[in-house]
Amino acid sequence: MMLTWLNKYRDVGLLIVRVGLGVMYMIHGVPKMMGGPGKWAGLAAGVGLTVGGPFWGFMAAFSESVGGLLLAMGLLFRPAVGLIFCTMMGALSFHLRRGDGFEVYSRPIEMMIMFAGLFLIGAGRYSVDECKCACAGGG
């Protein structure tokens, strides 16, 4: 049992993954949010959505920016992870439609795998979802 002493840092590891990924998704998403309806329509058109384009583009930008913040905080963790997972499905569709090679479209697949795992594991002890404060009846 090599390195089993590291098991006590599981929640710290989840915190590092959550905050790191959350910040990176916010960096990608905030400019998309600020781009407005024209940018949102372009995002949707990139994945072949013509009906309700600006709405779906907004949802992608929202899931990356606000979802990234919620991911980092560990607040509404599973819904946030689900939104970002769906956005990565859209990114995969975009890259496949463009004919990009595996070295490009593998990233959304890798992120989908990561988010599927995080969805099952949960946010960990150091998250807002797990906060047990006196006002909530916790310790």
pLDDT tens for the chain, 139 residues: list them. 788 888 899 999 999 999 999 999 999 999 999 999 999 999 898 888 878 889 999 999 999 999 999 999 999 999 999 999 999 999 999 999 999 999 999 999 999 999 999 999 999 999 999 876 645 555 4
Residue 138: inside a domain: no
Written as six digits, the tokens of 97 are 């439609």
Establish if 133 belongs to a structural domain: no
For residue 54, count other CB atoms closer than 10 A to its CB. 18
Q: What is the pTM of this model?
A: 0.87
Domain assignment of residue 66, given as a range: 12-126
Nearest residue to 63 (alpha-carbon basis) of 35, 28, 97? 28
Total structural domains in the chain?
A: 1
Is 131 among the domain residues? no
What is the C-alpha separation between 97 and 106, in angstroms, rounded? 14
Residue 48 lies in a domain: yes
Q: 12: Cβ–Cβ under 8 A, 6 or more apart, which residues?
A: 126
Helix axes 77-98, 53-73, angle to 10 degrees: 130
2 in a structural domain: no
**139 falls within a domain:** no
Other C-beta atoms closer than 10 Å to the C-beta of 123 total 24
